């Protein structure tokens, strides 16, 4: 089930074979949603977020699986469904809260956090509520997560925030939910990448830049230090 608050999102929903029900404001309701359920609600976003928050966390019985060749500092904390690939290293005081999949040859430096909830506050039934995050994180082979970086889990069950192969995420970066960082991208220190943004392959993001939610940074693009990006950047 998904929320379609405008015509662009409605078109995306109707084109997605995984969608079985669409929640829309009444003006967007259509007679033939292509075999899907269509729910028209005056406060469509509030209904969607009520349903999202009503989900239950799966009881994860999985234990972390660490390849024998990987190095994990004793002070690191690995919780639930965590997989660490061959030749990877997990530094001191790192916290990894599954489901998280870490590829081969990945380096995660001191104090980084992978798989936490991010900021997702919505008004539901007159109360300001935090929307829980039900997804995970995937880190590609050869990626480098620097000290203090935070990578938020996906908000959607079965989906992942993704860090591409060979990508570098700098010191104290904040990578929001459902972000995709392309292969070989470089994200410098103190960068904020808001939820659902896309960073293209081999893109360079300068220190202390801020990327707004759902913005796409193209392949091989450059964003200079301190920039505030609120529109897509071409390849």
| Cβ neighbours of residue 18 closer than 8 Å, sequence gap 6 or more | none
Q: CA 123 to CA 231: how far, in whole Å?
A: 26
Q: Which of 52, 133, 168, 177 is catalytic?
A: 177
172 Rama sector, left if φ>0, alpha if ψ -120 to 50, beta otherwise: left
- Specify whether 177 is catalytic: yes
Backbone angles phi, psi at 51, to 5 degrees: -65, -40
Is there a contact between 195 and 118 (Cβ–Cβ < 8 Å)? yes
Q: For the chain, percent helix, then strand, then coil, each to nearest 5? A: 10, 35, 55
Six token digits for residue 98: 């599954």
CB atoms within 10 A of CB 93: 15
Q: CA 117 to CA 182: how far, in whole Å?
A: 22
| Cβ neighbours of residue 11 closer than 8 Å, sequence gap 6 or more | none
Q: Would strands 107-108 and 192-193 be described as parallel, antiparallel, or unpaired?
A: unpaired
Backbone angles phi, psi at 168, to 5 degrees: -120, 130
Which residues are known to be catalytic? 177
């Amino acid at each position: 089930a998904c929320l379609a608050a405008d015509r662009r999102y409605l078109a995306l929903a109707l084109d997605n074979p995984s969608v079985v029900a669409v929640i829309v404001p009444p003006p967007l309701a259509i007679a033939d949603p292509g075999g899907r359920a269509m729910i028209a609600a005056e406060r469509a976003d509030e209904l969607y977020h009520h349903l999202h928050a009503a989900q239950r966390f799966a009881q994860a019985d999985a234990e972390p699986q660490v390849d024998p060749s990987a190095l994990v500092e004793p002070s690191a904390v690995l919780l639930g469904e965590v997989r660490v690939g061959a030749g990877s290293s997990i530094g001191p005081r790192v916290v990894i809260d599954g489901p998280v999949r870490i590829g081969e040859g990945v380096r995660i430096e001191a104090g980084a956090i992978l798989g936490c909830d991010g900021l997702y506050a919505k008004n539901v039934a007159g109360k300001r509520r935090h929307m829980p995050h039900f997804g995970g994180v995937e880190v590609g082979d050869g990626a480098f997560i620097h000290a203090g970086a935070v990578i938020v889990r996906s908000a959607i069950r079965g989906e992942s925030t993704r860090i591409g192969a060979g990508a570098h995420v700098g010191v104290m970066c904040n990578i929001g939910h459902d972000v995709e960082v392309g292969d070989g991208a470089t994200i410098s220190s103190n960068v904020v990448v808001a939820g659902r943004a896309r960073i293209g392959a081999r893109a360079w993001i300068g220190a202390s830049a801020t990327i707004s939610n759902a913005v796409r940074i193209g392949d091989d693009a450059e964003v200079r230090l301190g920039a505030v990006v609120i529109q897509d950047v071409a390849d």
